[in-house]
Amino acid sequence: MRLAICDDSVEQTELIKSAVLCYFKKTGQKADIREYNDAAVLLDELNKTDGFDIMLLDICMPDVLGTDVAKEIRKRKDKTEIIFITTSDEFAVDAFALKAAHYLIKPFTHEQFEEAMDRAIEHFSSVQEKNIKLKLSNRGYQTIDINEIIYIESFGHAQNVHVKSGVHIEARLTLAQLFLKLEELSKGQFIAPYKGYIVNQKAIAKIESDRIVLQNGKEVPIVKRSFRKTRDCFFDYTFGAEGKK
């Protein structure tokens, strides 16, 4: 895992690095940690590398604010998780808008830092590509990221896998086989709300008493007596399993 720490104070950079090393020693994970005391240098580095998995950013730095660094990362559409570490909560709204994983106020406690790192790593892991290899009706194969799937509809002996691009892929698997593969890759992300359908919970716009409305406007029926169960499953996944990103 690649991490960047950026704070104009050398003392603060070392303090944060020490906390990071302590965290990874405890979790048994390995990390490549880069330190920066100049946000402009960090921005220049971003243009020369593949980016970072997690960035720990001070906000109030000379010339370039930490929020400006974060804006550039979001423009690049990097999947970087950002933890802001600053002396005031005045930038909390900006941090939220930039989809920061956490916002720490200096001085922070060991427990607060661990909570921030736990959340960042959990978020990062949840958005990584998880690929499924589909056997196609023409006897070929196609590999896709499961997060690109909106829903799957059974059609005869094939399953139509509808993806975000608007096309569908005809897969030669049973619906049960597909569901099992998806469950192994991302437990709880997909549900089977009605006979012949599998739905990606990340693609749900709303749930009504007799249907699920997806973000692309497609409506998938549900049995009325299962409305509460379907709704609770969606809420549990969205707010409990960090599926909200």
On whether residue 245 sits in a domain, the answer given is no
pLDDT at residue 48, as a whole number: 78
**CATH number of residue 178's parent domain:** 2.40.50.1020
pLDDT at residue 243, as a whole number: 45
pTM of the model: 0.57
Residues 155 and 110 in one domain: no
In terms of Cβ atoms closer than 10 Å to its own Cβ (0-12, 13-18, 19+), residue 44 is exposed
Q: Look at strands 168-171 and 190-191 and give their pairing.
A: unpaired
Q: Domain of 145? A: 132-240
In the chain, the number of structural domains is 2
Answer with the one of 77, 107, 127 that is the final residue of a domain: 127
Residues 92 and 164 in one domain: no
Residues 118 and 192 in one domain: no
Position of tokens 């991490």? 3
Residues 23 and 82 in one domain: yes
Answer with the one of 108, 127, 146 that is the final residue of a domain: 127
pLDDT (tens place) for every residue of the chain, 245 residues total:
899 999 999 999 999 999 999 999 998 888 999 999 999 999 998 877 778 999 999 999 998 999 999 999 988 877 899 999 999 889 998 888 898 999 999 999 999 999 999 999 988 876 666 889 898 987 788 989 999 999 999 988 889 999 999 999 999 989 999 999 999 988 999 999 999 999 999 999 999 999 999 999 999 999 888 999 999 999 888 776 444 44
